[in-house]
Amino acid sequence: MKRVKVVVVGAGVVGLSTAVCVAETLPHCSVTVIAEKFSPDTTGDGAAGILLPREFPDIPLERQRRWFKESFDHLLAIADSPQASDAGVYLSSGYHIFKEIPCDKKPFWSEFVFGFRYMTDREMKRFPNHKFGQAFTTLKCECLSYLPWLEKRLRAVGGQIIREKVTDLHKLALNYDAIMNCSGLGSRFLVNDEEVYPVRGQMLKVSAPWLKNFIRDGDGNTYIYPGIRYVSIGGTRQANDWRLEVDEEDSEGILERCCRLEPSLRAAQVMGEWVGLRPSRANPRVERQYLHVQGRQVPLVHNYGHGSCGVTLSWGTALDALELLRQSLFEKPPQARL
Amino acid sequence: MSWMIFWCFSLSLSLSFTAACGCLQLTPPVVLSLLRRNQCFLNESLYIRESEEELAGLQITSCQLNSDMRVCIIGAGVIGLSTAQSIYQHFHSRITPLTIEVYADVFTPLTTSDGAAGFWQPYLYDKGNVQETKWNKETFDYLLSCLSSPDSVKMGIFLQSGYNLCTETAPDPSFKDAVLGFRQLTKRELDMFPGYSFGWFNTTLMIEGKTYLPWLMDWLKQRNVKFHQRKIGSFKELADSGADVIINCSGVRSGDLQPDPELQPARGQIIKVDAPWLKHWILTHDSSSGVYNSPYIIPGSRLVTVGGVFQVGNWSLQNSTVDHKNIWEAACKLEPSLQHARIVDDWTGLRPTRSKVRLVRETIRSGPTSFEVIHNYGHGGFGLTIHRGCAEEAARLFGQILEQKGLLAHSKSRL
């Protein structure tokens, strides 16, 4: 059987997850990842990588549950293995606190994390400005380790890497039988999707090795995520803000809010600051279309627009994208090229 | 009771004091108050007399020329240092001068408290020692209140969640109400730990000896507590040198000062590893092996402590390669990611184990005199866990001694 040449655009957490899914599941496919940015320069590399989804308005809940469950189970197996430290995947417990009682006290993902419960009165005492909280154990997946680890896994099954910025999918389609578009925020230009927009996030890396549990404010603007080598504290959510430079006022605001939640942070040393642009969209786009190129129908599977849930949904959406690819290959086998 | 009688001397001192004040009235109430000021012990029988005329029969039974109250604490582990702190806190303003000294042959970072993981958790069941459960909870609440203070990091205090795993269903542990967010483990969680079918999850406090002890020593030094690096051979040695009250916090070696067949070492060995992705403690309980003879993994602020063994009667402070191998294999089975962790160090310590903590007063006769000893030792593998509750209790016992000696300014006047 002729080898099917699949190209994955984008080497962030979604791109590499998708590439590995395809390469490991479809042995008759050769997989090439083409991207401008690789770890440690992808959006995911700066993210804390805590698995914590949000609910998207237009995707059937069953599909969202499947995305999260599959991502969680996949990463849990890694966390529970000798690979955990290489991959940067491990369990993380903590508190999700709310200043006002949320409408949805028990979100759809509560059954997939471990030990989901409401915080006790004694636990809430630490947060006098908050009225309600959820406690659970989830996973943390640090891209700085995870992406190189995925790359190794890709290469182990013959995957290839090309460092190049893709600007024209039609041109790319000349040389491949199928395209997986995992270009994140880049899709805005690559496929002219105006629904994709950046949500700027700034964070600080601090040294506070005594912190073991995460704290996240339900409003999404303040978080403390203890990591392997530093604690990620943040953040900001600035829609349509393309600035990649650090904003001093943002840093001050982050420090002030986080120290209020966790006073011991006052003793922590700031190691660095980082800005990332979440590839946001009302809903992630995981769907397939076809490019018409020189009389061929080239399947183009989209897998982008995960916003703040890139790591959280990476494996589940990669599996979905794989399925879309598999269906298209089954329905329309690629024509032999002359 | 026979007391040294210095009443003449004391009385003349009082008179000269009075003369210095220009007050020559020597009415009975004045005499009495002067005597009290010079910390004289009054014969008990005096207390029953109501009539001032009967002061003629005043018998001063004992007096201290030197009004110094000298407390000597033996041991500079967490028990000794925290006892010094509690005594200072409760009495430094009520007794002047109050001299507190700590004598020990080892100080931080070489004490038993320093090597321990610094994990707050009592043994699963208190076997009826409700007093100990109370002291444990008191310690937890105290440390929790310190968590919000600016000193929390300098004290080595922080929260950490984790897993207590059992090989079979077990009744709720003694500490379930003391810790935060206590709950049973779900089946999915237990699936992560093959071989364990039951367990609990909760958030507790860490209190790292290597940080807490230096913090305590600084705290005490700032308040003029003196430290002496010296091995004490006997209580009498300190008493003869002028100690009024001796507090015995000598841990596993208390037997050297006073034989105690109930006190035994329970040797523990640990491995310190660099595994910063671990954010939960895991303790296993196997009723057939006994407490702490089962693997445990406790991440600290810098390194992870991996154990454990609990060898009663073993005095060896040498690291054993056999123990190391067994501990490491069991821990890696429990937590597969440990296989790639960098091993940094091994350490051995002797838990001062006893059927229950010895926290009592004892009056020891030495010839014609006697002196007071407060024992505060035998905290096994839960010294850090129980330290504050015991220190407060020791301070209470100390207060009893002061009251009986009539030294407390606020004590009810019995005249």
Residue B340 maps to a domain: yes
What pLDDT is attached to residue A272? 98
Annotated binding site of B for D-dopa, which residues? 121, 285, 296, 351, 381
pLDDT in tens, A62-120: 999 999 999 999 999 999 999 999 999 999 999 999 999 999 999 999 999 999 999 99
Closest chain B residue to A209 measured between Cα atoms?
B301
Question: B2-11, B71-80, B213-222, B372-381: lowest mean pLDDT where?
Answer: B2-11
Nearest to B336 among A81, A92, A117 (CB): A81
Residue B58 has pLDDT above 90, yes or no: no
Q: B-chain residues within 8 Å CB-CB of A229?
A: 276
CA angle A315, A317, A320 (to 5 degrees): 110
φ and ψ of B270, to 5 deg: -135, 160
Closest chain A residue to B337 measured between Cα atoms?
A82
Residue numbers of the domain that contains B173: 69-405
**A–B CB contacts, 8 A cutoff, strictly below:** 93
Residue B52 maps to a domain: no
CA angle B391, B392, B398 (to 5 degrees): 90
In this prediction, the answer to ipTM > 0.85 reads: yes
pLDDT in tens, B155-192: 999 999 999 999 999 999 999 999 999 999 999 999 99
Q: A-chain residues within 8 Å CB-CB of B160?
A: 212-213
Residue appearing with tokens 């958790």: B121
Count of other CB atoms within 10 angstroms of residue A129: 9
Mutate which: A76, A117, A210, vs B, most B CBs within 10 A: A210
What pLDDT is attached to residue B39? 41
Q: From CA A291, how far away is CA A9, in angstroms rounded?
A: 15
Residue B27 has pLDDT above 80, yes or no: no
Residue B40 maps to a domain: no
Give chain A's domains with CATH numbers.
4-330 (3.40.50.720)
Half-sphere exposure of B119 (CA within 13 A, CB side): 27
What mean pLDDT comes out for the span A175-188?
Answer: 97
Q: From CA A228, how far away is CA B277, in angstroms rounded?
A: 5
> With an 8 Å Cβ cutoff, are A114 and B186 in contact?
yes
> With an 8 Å Cβ cutoff, are A119 and B147 in contact?
no
Q: A-chain residues within 8 Å CB-CB of B158?
A: 210-212, 264
Residue B260 maps to a domain: yes
Handedness of CA B190, B196, B202, B205 (dihedral sign): negative
Q: A-chain residues within 8 Å CB-CB of B151?
A: none
Interface of B with A in 282-321 (CB under 8 A): 299, 301-302
Closest chain A residue to B339 measured between Cα atoms?
A82
What mean pLDDT comes out for the span B362-383?
Answer: 94
Burial class (CB in 10 A: 0-12, 13-18, 19+), B134: middle
- Residue B392 near residue B138 (C-beta atoms within 8 A): yes
Residue A222 has pLDDT above 70, yes or no: yes
Annotated binding site of B for FAD, which residues? 112-113, 380-385
Nearest to A114 among B158, B188, B336 (CB): B188
Residue B56 has pLDDT above 80, yes or no: no
Torsion (CA) B297, B299, B303, B305 in degrees, nearest 10? -30
- Average pLDDT of chain A, as a whole number: 96
- Average pLDDT of chain B, as a whole number: 87
Q: Quick one: pLDDT band at residue A1, thresholds 50, 70, 90?
A: low
What pLDDT is attached to residue A213? 98
Nearest to B153 among A90, A120, A210 (CB): A210
Nearest to B192 among A80, A213, A228 (CB): A80
B96 interfacial to chain A (CB closer than 8 Å): no
Q: From CA B152, how far away is CA B292, in angstroms rounded?
A: 28
B206 interfacial to chain A (CB closer than 8 Å): yes
Residue B38 has pLDDT above 50, yes or no: no
Residue B191 maps to a domain: yes
B194 interfacial to chain A (CB closer than 8 Å): no
Closest chain B residue to A90 measured between Cα atoms?
B277
SS3 state at B86: helix
Rounded to a whole number, what is the distance in Å from the CA of A15 to chain B's nearest CA? 25
pLDDT in tens, A257-307: 999 999 999 999 999 999 999 999 999 999 999 999 999 999 999 999 999
Q: A-chain residues within 8 Å CB-CB of B343?
A: none
> With an 8 Å Cβ cutoff, are B337 and A90 in contact?
yes
Better pLDDT: B5 or A251: A251
Residue B162 maps to a domain: yes
What pLDDT is attached to residue B339? 93
pLDDT in tens, B204-252: 999 999 999 999 999 999 999 999 999 999 999 999 999 999 999 999 9
φ and ψ of B86, to 5 deg: -60, -40
Q: Which residues of A touch B (CB under 8 A)?
A: 76, 79-86, 88, 90-93, 114-115, 117, 119-120, 122-123, 126, 135, 137, 209-213, 226, 228-229, 263-264, 266-267
In angstroms, the Cα distances linking A64 to A54, A59, A309, A322 are: 9, 7, 11, 16
Residue B414 maps to a domain: no
Side by side, the strands of the sheet bearing A296-304 are A160-163, A29-35, A4-9, A178-181, A296-304, A285-293
pLDDT in tens, B260-298: 999 999 999 999 999 999 999 999 999 888 778 899 999
Structure tokens at B260: 């105690």
Q: From CA A288, how far away is CA A296, in angstroms rounded?
A: 15
Nearest to B280 among A91, A123, A228 (CB): A91
Closest chain B residue to A94 measured between Cα atoms?
B161
Pairing status of strand B69-74 against strand B60-63: unpaired
Rounded to a whole number, what is the distance in Å from the CA of A209 to chain B's nearest CA? 5
What mean pLDDT comes out for the span A166-178?
Answer: 97
Q: Name residue A156's amino acid.
A: A
Handedness of CA B145, B150, B154, B158 (dihedral sign): positive
Residue B91 maps to a domain: yes
Residue A132 has pLDDT above 80, yes or no: yes
Q: How many folded domains does chain B comprise?
A: 1
In angstroms, the Cα distances linking A310 to A13, A187, B338, B362 are: 7, 15, 28, 67
Q: A-chain residues within 8 Å CB-CB of B278?
A: 90
Q: B-chain residues within 8 Å CB-CB of A266?
A: 150
CATH number, domain containing residue B287? 3.40.50.720
What pLDDT is attached to residue B412? 47
